[in-house]
A and B are shown apart, each in its own frame.
Chain A
Amino acid sequence: MQDHVQTKRDRSRRWFDSGFSITCLLIASLVVVILVCLISGILWQGAPWLRPSFLWNAHHENQPNESGIGQAIIGSGMVCLICGMFALPIGIGTAIFLEEFRPRNRWLKWFHNLVQLNISNLAGVPSIVYGILGVTAFVYMFGVFGKIQTDRPSDYEIGIHYMYQIKTIGGDYVTFPCEDKFQTLYSVDRPLMVTNAKGETFELNVLPKGASRPSDDGLRSRSVFAGKNASITSQKEFYHMQLPFHKSALAAGLTLALVILPIVIIASQEALRAVPNSLREAAFGMGATRWQVVRGTVIPSATPGIMTGAILAMSRAIGEAAPVLAVMGGVLSSTLGLTNLMDSTPTLPVTIYRWAQDDNRAFEGLSAAAIIVLLLFLLVMNSAAVLIRYRAEKNKG
């Protein structure tokens, strides 16, 4: 009797056990099936559009055949570079501070705990919230440095030269230097030294109002009527900077840096914690200072872990659309491309988003093609992370 009950319970126990593992297997394969469906759908939709010209062309309105993601790739690359440049040093530095330089002073301890608590909480904040923060903090800079207006240059800027341009009777534009950048118009009433597009400098021929137009083409392109307004324009160097940052690649990169900062910090902390304490103690035992311990022992052995975390954080950054959309608006293409950090630029995720809802449905295919490119980037980055981890483990072993 006792035996019989035991077997029965045993059998149902085993039955339940195998049933549960089958359920788990089904759920797991469901995930895989969904993934395969999604990816094959995207491949099927996007593959016909994947051509070499797609990779370097810019977006063209209503012309899917001529459109591409050239500017978006450069834009994404630049934004991610800025993001990494700020997020990685600050994030890794913070992690080292939190893990290796634990304060002994009561107030510093309190500060230390505050930072730690905030970082744990911030890792879960949705990225659009950071986007809104980025708009206030970077695009407008809380209005501290003045408003952004089309008729008023920024008070704080470098790498920009102002000049006036005026249309000659011949239809060409000539420029001459500008002394006061806040004066947007300049009425030309006397001869000035001007420069044309070919770089030739000559004296502007100012004709009195109502005079007849010269017939000679050369003269026409050197003449204006008195009283005509020249308007201000500018030439920007590649290092052009201004405050506030406006809707720029720099503002977008900084916003993305905020998004991934908690991820970088937490991943680096984990990597530092994984370094055995015996290593630190041995180094201290040799008479090393705290900096020497961190520099010579802890960081080298934590580097693979930190790198992995950094790469995974960067692949999050490259795929983010919401904060970029909030900061730069949905730019699809720009005339001159990205010439300096103050330009706004399309990025891959934003391009995908805009194309997917374009009036011209052919852009849905292009959107899928852009997704394939983005997925390839992510795949490369993630396999780099896996490879680094694998190498590190092999070295340890």
Chain B
Amino acid sequence: MLRNECKLLASQRFLQTKRLAGLAFLSAVLLFASCDSTKKDGSTGGKTAGDATTEVNNTLSGTIKIEGSSTVGPISSKAREEFNKKFPKVNISVGEQGTSNGFSSFGKKETDISDASRPIKDKELAACNEAGIEFYEMPIAYDGLTFVVNKENDFCKELTIDQLIAIFRQDTAAKTWKDVHPDWPDEKIALFIPGIQSGTHDYCVEVLGKKDNQGLRADATQSEDDKTLVTGVKGDKYAIGFFGYSYYEASKDELNAVAIVNTSGVAVPPSVSAIEDGTYEPFSRPLFIYVNKDSFQRAEVEEFVSFYLDNIVDIVKASDYVPLPQKMYDLVRKTLDDDQVGTHYYDATGKKNEGSLDQIFSGPAVSKPKAE
């Protein structure tokens, strides 16, 4: 504050002192020179964006502002890039300041779309209502991972979180299966895990090691290529590995998935339904985008959101996330088509809805739950 006052005072003095007209002229020259370069910068920027593939639609223009979760950000950025190949004149900005910051801007009409790694909270909903914002709630992907073992592995059918920590974490790093469970064979564990470049790796670190600030063990075979992991686990009876659920789906015949004992003590094997109904925890969570209804009236936003939905599976996979089942995307599209504004996570009385994603989204959307 002081700094600004100081600058203002200084510049006022500057103007009062007419004797310094020469310097004022100098700054005018500089100003002119910079205007010139602005123009130059602008044209180069435009040119790079203009070079694109054949089926380009240059007719749509506009600006879309997206803000929110850094988990969802990569998906939206991917969607932005693909969309811009087709519609190069739409200027889209994707911020990653976090879900809560995203909703805070969303509630002030500063953004058109909010990325969220959790459903909207009642306070954020109240802020939207106060500002007169209606929105569409759209789940777009699951963030999830699957632990796999060799087909011939007949002992490891389920694992608890503590056992997973024992196997994968740097500080515990169990050498043999016997170290994990006394009944299991005294054989060396071979680990095949996604490399540190992968988001899946980070997510595993988050679940298993974040609270104690521990990483995954370094003596595991790491690869960015899921295929290498599949081949590795396939070739060693005592191997274990993990990767995104979508990749497990593709190699189901070659590997066995390990059931994970969730917080209610039930061993749940990974499956679309288990991921959907939320019992496959803590290794899955839905990710959302929230679209402002007024913004959706704008042609560029509508075009972007429908492009997002049309190509959602590719976009989600390219960003290393798990796509929702097609049924879910149909429900999401129905939300748009039927103009269902509001959240599905609260009922009309303000009570929080529980259950699977598709149970939740089969119900009506509520924009103004009654305040308790």
Do A and B come from the same complex?
yes
Q: Residue B89 contacts which of A111, A229, A291, A336 (CB distance < 8 angstroms)?
A: A336
Number of A-B contacts (CB under 8 A): 204
Stretch at the interface among A19-27, A71-79, A368-376: A71-79
Kindly identify, within residues 78 to 102 of chain A, every residue whose CB is under 8 Å from any CB belonging to chain B.
Answer: 78, 81-82, 84-85, 88-90, 92-94, 96-97, 101
What CA separation (Å) do A174 and B6 show in the bound complex? 50
Closest to A74 in B: B41
Asked if residues A82 and B10 are in contact (CB atoms below 8 Å), the reply is no
Closest to B60 in A: A173
Asked if residues A336 and B14 are in contact (CB atoms below 8 Å), the reply is no
Q: Given contacts A58-B48, A82-B34, are A133 and B14 in contact (CB under 8 A)? A: no
Nearest Cβ in chain B — how far from A382, in angstroms?
A: 22
10 closest cross-chain pairs (CB), A and B: A337-B45, A89-B27, A173-B59, A361-B197, A61-B77, A197-B59, A291-B19, A149-B109, A231-B298, A339-B42
The residues of B that contact A74 with a CB separation of less than 8 Å are 41, 44-45
Q: Residue A71 contacts which of B20, B45, B112, B199 (CB distance < 8 angstroms)?
A: B45
Task: Judge whether A60 is part of the interface by a CB distance below 8 angstroms.
Answer: yes
Q: Given contacts A89-B23, A258-B7, A334-B93, are A233 and B61 in contact (CB under 8 A)? A: yes
Q: How large is the interface on B (under 10, 10 to 19, 20 to 34, 35 or more residues)?
A: 35 or more
Asked if residues B59 and A174 are in contact (CB atoms below 8 Å), the reply is yes
Per-position 1/0 for B28-60, Cβ under 8 A of A: 001100110111011011101100000001111
Task: Judge whether A348 is part of the interface by a CB distance below 8 angstroms.
Answer: no
What CA separation (Å) do A111 and B31 show in the bound complex? 29
Asked if residues A330 and B39 are in contact (CB atoms below 8 Å), the reply is no
Stretch at the interface among A40-48, A118-126, A276-284: A118-126
Nearest Cβ in chain A — how far from B105, in angstroms?
A: 10
Closest to B97 in A: A329
What CA separation (Å) do A284 and B24 show in the bound complex? 24
Task: Judge whether A135 is part of the interface by a CB distance below 8 angstroms.
Answer: no
Asked if residues A96 and B27 are in contact (CB atoms below 8 Å), the reply is no
The residues of A that contact B22 with a CB separation of less than 8 Å are 295
Q: A258-B4, A339-B42 known; 4 other A-B pairs, CB under 8 Å?
A: A84-B30, A152-B109, A234-B62, A258-B3
What CA separation (Å) do A167 and B304 show in the bound complex? 13
Task: Judge whether B74 is part of the interface by a CB distance below 8 angstroms.
Answer: yes
Task: Judge whether B311 is part of the interface by a CB distance below 8 angstroms.
Answer: no
Stretch at the interface among B80-88, B164-172, B257-265, B275-283: B80-88
**Chain B residues proximal to chain A, CB less than 8 Å:** 1-4, 6-7, 9-11, 13-14, 17, 19-20, 22-24, 26-27, 30-31, 34-35, 37-39, 41-42, 44-46, 48-49, 57-63, 65, 74, 77-78, 80-81, 84, 88-93, 95-97, 108-112, 195-199, 202, 292, 294-295, 297-300, 303, 318-320
What CA separation (Å) do A195 and B304 show in the bound complex? 22
The residues of B that contact A71 with a CB separation of less than 8 Å are 45
Q: Given contacts A122-B6, A359-B74, are A336 and B109 in contact (CB under 8 A)? A: no
Per-position 1/0 for A170-195, Cβ under 8 A of B: 01111000000000110000000000
What CA separation (Å) do A335 and B61 show in the bound complex? 11
The residues of A that contact B110 with a CB separation of less than 8 Å are 148-150
Nearest Cβ in chain B — how far from A136, in angstroms?
A: 9
What CA separation (Å) do A122 and B13 show in the bound complex? 19
Asked if residues B6 and A119 are in contact (CB atoms below 8 Å), the reply is yes
Asked if residues B38 and A150 are in contact (CB atoms below 8 Å), the reply is no
Asked if residues A150 and B59 are in contact (CB atoms below 8 Å), the reply is no
What CA separation (Å) do A81 and B197 show in the bound complex? 36
Closest to A152 in B: B109
Asked if residues A130 and B49 are in contact (CB atoms below 8 Å), the reply is no
Q: Given contacts A137-B4, A165-B299, A238-B38, are A89 and B30 in contact (CB under 8 A)? A: yes
What CA separation (Å) do A343 and B96 show in the bound complex? 18
Number of interface residues of A (CB under 8 A): 84
Please, could you name 21 A-B residue pairs with CB atoms under 8 Å apart, sorted by A? A61-B319, A81-B37, A89-B26, A93-B11, A93-B20, A115-B9, A121-B2, A151-B294, A165-B59, A173-B61, A229-B297, A233-B298, A234-B63, A238-B38, A258-B7, A294-B19, A331-B95, A332-B77, A337-B44, A338-B41, A361-B195
Q: Residue A151 contacts which of B44, B95, B109 (CB distance < 8 angstroms)?
A: B109
Asked if residues A238 and B42 are in contact (CB atoms below 8 Å), the reply is yes
Asked if residues B6 and A335 are in contact (CB atoms below 8 Å), the reply is no
Q: Residue A165 contacts which of B2, B60, B78, B199 (CB distance < 8 angstroms)?
A: B60
What CA separation (Å) do A61 and B96 show in the bound complex? 13
Q: Residue B62 contacts which of A101, A147, A165, A258 (CB distance < 8 angstroms)?
A: A165
**Chain A residues proximal to chain B, CB less than 8 Å:** 56, 58, 60-62, 70-71, 74, 77-78, 81-82, 84-85, 88-90, 92-94, 96-97, 101, 111, 115, 118-119, 121-122, 125, 130, 133, 137, 147-152, 165-167, 171-174, 184-185, 196-197, 229-235, 238-239, 258, 261-262, 290-291, 294-295, 329-332, 334-341, 343-344, 359-362
Nearest Cβ in chain A — how far from B99, in angstroms?
A: 15
What CA separation (Å) do A148 and B59 show in the bound complex? 26
Asked if residues B112 and A94 are in contact (CB atoms below 8 Å), the reply is no
What CA separation (Å) do A111 and B6 show in the bound complex? 10
What CA separation (Å) do A130 and B3 show in the bound complex? 8
Asked if residues A62 and B74 are in contact (CB atoms below 8 Å), the reply is yes
Q: Given contacts A235-B61, A361-B197, are A85 and B298 in contact (CB under 8 A)? A: no
Closest to B38 in A: A238
Q: Given contacts A90-B14, A233-B300, are A62 and B49 in contact (CB under 8 A)? A: no
Q: Given contacts A150-B111, A338-B41, A338-B45, are A361 and B196 in contact (CB under 8 A)? A: yes
The residues of B that contact A362 with a CB separation of less than 8 Å are 197
Q: Given contacts A78-B38, A115-B9, are A150 and B48 in contact (CB under 8 A)? A: no
Closest to A58 in B: B48
Nearest Cβ in chain A — how far from B166, in angstroms?
A: 25
Nearest Cβ in chain A — how far from B196, in angstroms?
A: 5
Q: Given contacts A231-B297, A232-B298, are A90 and B59 in contact (CB under 8 A)? A: no
The residues of A that contact B109 with a CB separation of less than 8 Å are 147, 149-152
Asked if residues B7 and A90 are in contact (CB atoms below 8 Å), the reply is yes
The residues of B that contact A60 with a CB separation of less than 8 Å are 81
Q: Given contacts A85-B31, A89-B23, are A335 and B3 in contact (CB under 8 A)? A: no
What CA separation (Å) do A166 and B298 show in the bound complex? 9
Q: Given contacts A74-B41, A130-B3, A173-B60, are A184 and B49 in contact (CB under 8 A)? A: no
